[in-house]
Amino acid sequence: MKPNYQPKTYFITGIDTDCGKTIVTGIIAKFLKKSGIHLTTQKLVQTGCEGISEDILKHREIMEEPLSVFDKDGTTCPIVYSYPASPHLAAEIDKMPIDLKKIEKASEKLEASYDRILLEGAGGLMVPLTRDLLTIDWIQQKNCPVILVTSAKLGSINHTLMSLEIIKNRRIELAGVIYNHYPAHSSLILEDSVKIFRNYLKENFKSVPLVEVPVLENGQVPIVNCQKIFR
């Protein structure tokens, strides 16, 4: 990789569903926007929804900006399924095969219009997009740097380390790990998990930062400094 290489699109994935990917994507976008970067967010595939992607709506709410033309015409999320399931199954239920070329063209359109794209996935790395293609396969094909979102839920250590092992074994570029403090039931668990994740990164991804996101208080979205994640 060239020293001055600057990726345009970063893929935001999580250790599982409901780990906070959507909130974190919005928080990162808000920080970058305040830093003067011209960016937008994109959703790879949305399920359990109709019309404009509910995750895109949440991004814009956190970013405190109105819907763009690209949001309204579906460019920021060209594939939306009504059934709340993994994309491969939702596509079969809605009888609408996932059009990966449509997603690719949407991404190209956004990359031509913005300096940075934050592309949020659906679920975790091993979620099937089709019967023959996992999300991580798609990430490898597109050569996107990955930002992994983890959380303070019980079981997150196991899921986080497994996700990191998969990323390492697939030789995918890891840009950063975001540790979402929600639900933060135990400060002991939270502090210990941070130590484990930092030690793992130190041993396996030496220069990759871990950024912590505090629990939202009274609906207030914090400004989290994510600068270390981006070169």
Active-site residue set: 43
| Beta carbons of 53 and 68 less than 8 angstroms apart | no
Token pair belonging to 41? 């967010």
* CB neighbours of residue 183 within 10 Å: 13
CA–CA dist 91, 127 (Å, integer) = 13
As beta bridge partners, residue 133 has 130
* CB neighbours of residue 62 within 10 Å: 19
Closest CA to 47 of 19, 14, 10, 89: 89
Give kind and range of the element (H or E) at residue 151. strand 146-151
Token pair belonging to 70? 């690209």
Q: Could you say which DSSP state residue 80 is in?
A: B
